[in-house]
């Protein structure tokens, strides 16, 4: 097991972690704010991926590589719109019933997956990455594909944007206020319902952007979201609910462990071992790496 | 104790079902036996979710442990003495793995079916509830554990036969599993298991144990301050759910003549939950009936229009939760009874007559 | 009876509790002899609720210990503390909503609360006790109704019935008269006075009228420490005590309910 191999695995792990992190951000946001677990969150990734495919189909012939700059807003807005509709029609009716929300969103996830199968077939549709992403960077003996570097940069950019939004903007202040105490924030004039809707749509949109990254790396198929969702949940659980920093650390950790373990054993064993490791971790720190001290969380 | 209307309806239904071999054809009987086997697991979900408020999305783990325990025994019985099971030979395994050895014995296998899933459930529950992990966390962790189990089953080809699952059984306790008479016998055994699961669980829930579970579901902290240890009760409920899932898995394996990772995965565990939700999560009969009718409907719809089935399932999840949170049983229970006493926020509080005298 | 002994039933020794950087309790000591009634008052944030949380095991002290009947209880889980005979009544009615009023009382009256011994049906003595308490709290007609369907006042009385059924050695009451009418407040005060003697009772309240009715020794908490101890009349005359209630005139403290 030489250095080159390990470095390569770590790099792959980092790019997987990037997508995981983008997927987990939305989950953590809506869970932190509404105590809602959205089992259909993975499907926002899927929708983002398919919208990228469509952008490449429609805009590719005229814009060439420029389709990517159509894909980003399309994926973000498309997923965000879907998220907003979901929040408005289902999730807000189940307020205070987290387990029921989990079931209902699981149903939505089944419907969306089947719809994707109907529209695009069950085999993956390929998206050709722009030519300027087709090369690779070589550092010493390690080859770093540009596509994966791009995905990592994308995750960092989105993470930075979210951090700014949550910690520096008026919107973020309201989100943090509702996180701390929903009643108090409402009494102070925050429109909590509208905020729920916005945050949910934002989380969905970010997952849609993650879908663009995913489409650049691998073909998009109807179960691509389901494949990521459990790990994204684990990122939220390990990172500490409602903590962006904890989530980022957990995503990187999980990505590394998976990539390294895959290098040494089979993929399936690595996955199984990782899941067991997470359960063991919760014995040690049941509230995650960076716990949020909030009374309301204890009821979740 | 007066038998409740629910108990009478259950008895009547079991009686009608007991004579099914006389009026049902071969295929419908097989199908009915199969879904009745699954309903045992549904009874477990009622205890764990409906009563104790723990939503496990990983019941397939315990179902699978029961199923695989029996399947290993059946596989060893179908293999000539001294030989290795066929799939091990294909995968180049040279010695029988240690954890297969005990399953050569039928009594040990039956013991394992009854204890292994319950013990695993106890361990999982202990790890979660001792650290006060609750709510959606439990759902995610149970799902992750099931995923880990299924992934391992799929990956460890030589030990578990991987995605193909374990199949080609011949006899159990000397009985030929392929003879037509066996179908009937197995049906009755299954029905007896359903009756036992329903009756035993109902009796258990009628003791104060059932009340404490409800108390924990409604207000865990208050129950703790009354001097009950919620973790112990939740572990017990989870073990009961695991036991029933394990028995169900073993029976189902007998009915189908095979068990594979695809049969016990996330989809299975969630289907179990949705049928219980539809039937009525807090009602034993409701959830068992919900599962039986749901699976029968699935058999019809998915053979006629396989694509439509997932839409139906998805819509059911959403609709049950939005419109019928207590399921069909909740709907039925509301009607015949006297109207609920109206909530009277302004009612004068009763003045206690000399409460102090009682002290 | 424990009241024969002179050592305190509840003995809080030098307890400090910090949440982050904020010290809710600072080296607090408090003794309550068996059979005594003690009232705890203090302005908001004085640490009254934290002290109760510490006694019942919900909050672990950073230093110091809580002893009950000579035994250190500050490291025990909550259900074990409750099992020793310490019962706390919270401000909000803490009845078990999915169970009937009678079932609530039966669970509270149970002595053995283990997961296996729970299978034993209630003893005739427990049943009689529950029925007596239903009668005394005026809930006999509502015995078979889920507690969720009871009116707010009925829930209050049901919980008081549960406390009596549990027959605790130490009873912790957190603002027991919150939301009660003047008449009910007087009844509750009389009830608490009769309970003292057989039970040891620690009451938190800031309704001075109610505290007056209890006619018991008062401990004033301030900034997580014991500020003064004595009878209410003496404390009222103490300008320092009035001072910590933000210099509020006596009448304002009176009227607070």
Q: How sure is the predictor about B212, in pLDDT bands with cuts at 50, 70 and 90?
A: very high
Measured between CB atoms, does B225 come within 8 Å of chain C?
Answer: yes
- Residue range A75-80: average pLDDT? 96
Whether residue B341 is predicted with pLDDT greater than 60 in this model: the reply is: no
- Please report, rounded to a whole number, the percentage of residues in chain C having pLDDT higher than 90: 18
Q: Choose from B9-13, B70-74, C87-91, C183-187 the range with maximum mean pLDDT.
A: B70-74
In angstroms, the first-to-last Cα distance of chain A is 44
How high does pLDDT run on average in chain A? 82
Angle of CA points B203, B50, B189, to nearest 5°: 50
Full domain range(s) for residue C158: 95-166
Which range has highest mean pLDDT (A219-233, A242-256, B54-68)?
A: B54-68
User: Is residue C14 in a domain?
Assistant: no
Per-residue pLDDT, C49 = 85
- From B134, B147, B273, residue closest to A103, measured CB to CB: B273
Q: Hey, CA dihedral for B217, B223, B224, B225, is it positive or negative? A: positive
Tens digits of residue pLDDT in B153-172: 988 888 898 889 998 888 88
Question: How many domains does chain C contain in total?
Answer: 1
Q: Report the pLDDT value the prediction gives residue A288, as an integer from 0 to 100.
A: 67
pLDDT, position A293? 46
Give the minimum alpha-carbon distance from A90 to chain B in angstroms, rounded to a whole number: 8
pLDDT for position C91: 67
Give residue B181's pLDDT: 81
Assess if residue C161 is contained within a domain: yes
Q: Give the highest mean pLDDT range of A18-22, A49-53, B127-131, C207-211.
A: A49-53
Q: Inform me whether the C-beta atom of residue B236 falls under 8 Å from chain A C-beta atoms.
A: no
Secondary structure (3-state) at A264: helix
C contact test, residue of B349, B351, B356, B357 with most C CBs within 10 A: B349
Q: On the CB side of B147, how many CA atoms lie within 13 Å of its CA? A: 25
Q: B45 pLDDT band (50/70/90 cuts)?
A: very high
Q: Which residues of A164-190 are buried (b: 16+ CB within 10 A; e: fewer)?
A: eebeeeeeeebbebbbeebeebeeeeb
Instruction: Classify burial at A84, counting beta carbons within 10 Å of its beta carbon; exposed 0-12, middle 13-18, buried 19 or more.
Output: middle
Q: What number of C-beta contacts closer than 8 Å exist between B and C?
A: 135
User: Could you tell me what percent of chain B has a pLDDT over 70?
Assistant: 92
Tell me the average pLDDT of chain B. Answer: 86
Range of the domain at A154: 3-299
pLDDT of residue A223: 87
Position A291 scores a pLDDT of 58
In a domain, C99, yes or no: yes
B224: contact with C, CB 8 A cutoff: yes
The sheet with strand C63-68 has its strands ordered as: C22-32, C10-19, C63-68, C71-72
CATH of the domain at A82: 1.10.3470
Please, are residues B70 and B117 in contact by the beta-carbon 8 Å criterion? no
Comparing A52-56, C97-101, C137-141, the range with the smallest average pLDDT is C137-141
Verify whether the Cβ–Cβ distance B208 to C194 is below 8 Å: no
Look at residue B346 in the predicted model and tell me its pLDDT.
Answer: 35
Interface check for C216 against chain B (CB to CB < 8 A): the answer is: no
pLDDT at B237 over 90: yes
Relative to beta strand C10-19, strand C22-32 is antiparallel
Instruction: Collect contacts of B192-197 with beta carbons under 8 A, ≥24 apart.
Output: B193/B37, B193/B40, B193/B247, B193/B251, B194/B14, B194/B36, B194/B39, B194/B40, B194/B43, B194/B288, B195/B14, B197/B40, B197/B43, B197/B44, B197/B244, B197/B247
Mean pLDDT across B69-91: 90
| B39/C3: higher pLDDT | B39
- Taking residues B211-224, report their average pLDDT: 89
**Interval B85-135: pLDDT, tens:** 989 988 888 888 999 999 999 999 999 999 999 999 999 999 888 888 888
Beta bridge partners of C72: C67
Angle at A136 between CA A131 and CA A139, to 5 degrees: 160
Higher per-residue confidence, A256 vs A240: A256
B297-308 tens-digit pLDDT:
888 888 888 778
Q: Does C194 touch chain B (CB under 8 A)?
A: yes
Average pLDDT over residues A191-201: 88
Binning chain B into helix, strand and coil, the percentages to the nearest 5 are 75, 0, 25
B345 pLDDT above the threshold of 60: no
- Does the pLDDT at position A296 exceed 50? no
User: DSSP letters along C83-134, please?
Assistant: HTTEEEE-SS----TTSBHHHHHHHHH-S--STTGGGSPPPHHHHHHHHHHH
pLDDT at B293 over 50: yes
d(CA A65, CA A60): 7
Please check the confidence at residue B347 and state whether its pLDDT lies above 60.
Answer: no
Alpha carbon dihedral B125, B126, B127, B130, in 10-degree steps, equals 110
- If one counts the domains in chain A, the total is 1
Phi then psi for C134, rounded to 5 degrees? Answer: -60, -45
Confidence band, pLDDT 50/70/90 cuts, at residue B34: very high
């Amino acid at each position: 097991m030489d250095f080159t191999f390990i470095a390569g695995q770590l790099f792959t792990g980092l790019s997987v972690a990037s997508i995981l992190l983008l997927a987990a951000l939305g989950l953590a946001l809506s869970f932190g704010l509404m105590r809602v677990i959205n089992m259909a969150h993975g499907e926002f990734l899927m929708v983002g991926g398919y919208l990228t495919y469509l952008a490449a189909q429609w805009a590719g012939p005229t814009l060439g590589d420029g389709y990517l700059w159509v894909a980003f807003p399309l994926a973000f807005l498309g997923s965000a719109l879907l998220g907003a509709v979901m929040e408005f029609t289902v999730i807000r009716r189940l307020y205070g019933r987290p387990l029921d929300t989990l079931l209902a969103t699981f149903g939505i996830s089944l419907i969306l997956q089947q719809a994707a199968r109907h529209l695009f077939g069950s085999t993956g549709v390929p998206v050709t990455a722009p030519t300027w992403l087709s090369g690779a960077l070589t550092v010493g003996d390690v080859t770093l594909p540009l596509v994966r570097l791009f995905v990592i940069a994308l995750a960092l950019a989105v993470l930075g944007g979210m951090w700014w939004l949550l910690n520096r903007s008026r919107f973020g202040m309201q989100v943090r206020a509702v996180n701390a105490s929903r009643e108090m924030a409402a009494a102070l004039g925050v429109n909590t319902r509208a905020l729920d809707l916005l945050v949910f749509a934002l989380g969905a949109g970010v997952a849609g952007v993650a879908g663009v990254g995913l489409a650049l790396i691998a073909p998009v198929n109807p179960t691509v979201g389901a494949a990521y969702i459990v790990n994204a949940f684990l990122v939220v659980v390990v990172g500490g609910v409602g903590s962006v920093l904890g989530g980022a650390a957990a995503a990187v950790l999980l990505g590394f462990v998976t990539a390294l373990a895959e290098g040494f054993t089979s993929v399936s064993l690595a996955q199984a071992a990782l899941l067991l490791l997470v359960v063991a971790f919760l014995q040690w720190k049941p509230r995650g790496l960076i716990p949020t001290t909030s009374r309301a969380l204890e009821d979740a | 104790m007066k038998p409740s209307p629910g108990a009478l309806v259950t008895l009547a239904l079991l009686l009608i079902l007991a004579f099914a071999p006389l009026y049902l054809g071969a295929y419908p009987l097989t199908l009915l036996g199969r879904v009745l086997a699954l309903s045992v697991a549904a009874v477990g979900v009622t205890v764990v979710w409906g009563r104790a408020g723990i939503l496990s999305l990983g019941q397939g783990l315990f179902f699978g442990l029961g199923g695989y325990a029996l399947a290993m025994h059946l596989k060893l019985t179908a293999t000539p003495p001294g030989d290795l099971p066929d799939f091990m030979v294909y995968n180049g395994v040279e010695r029988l793995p240690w954890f297969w050895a005990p399953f050569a014995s039928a009594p040990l296998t039956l013991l394992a079916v009854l204890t292994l899933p319950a013990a695993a459930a106890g361990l999982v529950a202990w790890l979660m509830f001792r650290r006060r992990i609750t709510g959606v966390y439990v759902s995610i962790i149970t799902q992750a554990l099931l995923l880990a189990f299924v992934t391992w089953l799929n990956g460890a080809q030589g030990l578990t036969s991987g995605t193909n699952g374990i199949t080609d059984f011949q006899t159990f306790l000397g009985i030929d599993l392929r003879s037509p008479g066996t179908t009937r016998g197995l049906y009755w055994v299954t029905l007896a298991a359903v009756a036992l699961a329903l009756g035993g669980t109902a009796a258990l829930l009628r003791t104060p144990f059932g009340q404490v579970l409800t108390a924990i579901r409604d207000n865990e902290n208050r129950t703790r301050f009354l001097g009950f240890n919620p973790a112990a009760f939740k572990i017990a409920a989870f073990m009961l759910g695991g036991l029933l899932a394990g028995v169900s898995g073993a029976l189902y394996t007998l009915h189908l003549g095979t068990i594979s990772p695809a049969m016990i995965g996330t989809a299975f565990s969630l289907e179990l939950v949705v049928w219980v939700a539809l039937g009525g999560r807090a009602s034993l009969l409701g959830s068992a009936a919900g599962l039986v009718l749901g699976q029968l409907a699935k058999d019809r719809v998915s053979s006629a229009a396989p694509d439509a089935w997932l839409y139906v399932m998805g819509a059911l999840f959403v609709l049950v939760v939005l419109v019928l949170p207590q399921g069909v049983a909740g709907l039925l229970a509301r009607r015949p009874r006297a109207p609920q006493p109206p909530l009277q926020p302004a009612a004068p509080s009763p003045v206690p007559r000399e409460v102090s005298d009682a002290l | 009876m424990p009241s024969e002994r002179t050592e305190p039933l509840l003995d809080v020794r030098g307890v400090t509790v910090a949440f982050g950087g904020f010290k809710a309790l600072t080296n607090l000591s408090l003794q309550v002899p068996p059979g005594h009634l003690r009232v705890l008052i203090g302005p908001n944030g004085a640490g009254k609720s934290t002290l109760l949380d510490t006694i019942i095991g919900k909050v672990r002290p950073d230093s110091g210990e809580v002893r009950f009947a000579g035994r250190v209880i500050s490291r025990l889980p909550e259900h074990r503390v409750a099992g020793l005979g310490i019962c706390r009544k919270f401000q909000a009615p803490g009845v078990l909503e999915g169970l009937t009023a009678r079932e609530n009382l039966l669970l509270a009256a149970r002595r053995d609360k283990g997961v296996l011994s729970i299978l034993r049906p209630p003893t005739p003595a427990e049943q009689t006790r529950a029925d007596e308490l239903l009668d005394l709290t005026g809930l006999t007609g509502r015995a078979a109704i889920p507690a969720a369907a009871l009116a707010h006042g009925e829930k209050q009385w049901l919980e008081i019935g549960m406390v009596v059924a549990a027959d605790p050695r130490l009873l912790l009451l957190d603002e027991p008269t919150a939301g009660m009418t003047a008449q009910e407040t007087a009844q509750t005060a009389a009830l608490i006075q009769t309970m003292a003697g057989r039970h040891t009772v620690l009451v938190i309240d800031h309704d001075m009228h109610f505290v007056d009715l209890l006619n018991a020794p008062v401990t004033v908490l301030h900034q997580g420490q014991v500020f003064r101890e004595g009878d209410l009349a003496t404390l009222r005359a103490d300008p320092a005590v009035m001072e910590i209630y933000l210099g509020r005139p006596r009448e304002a403290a009176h009227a607070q309910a």
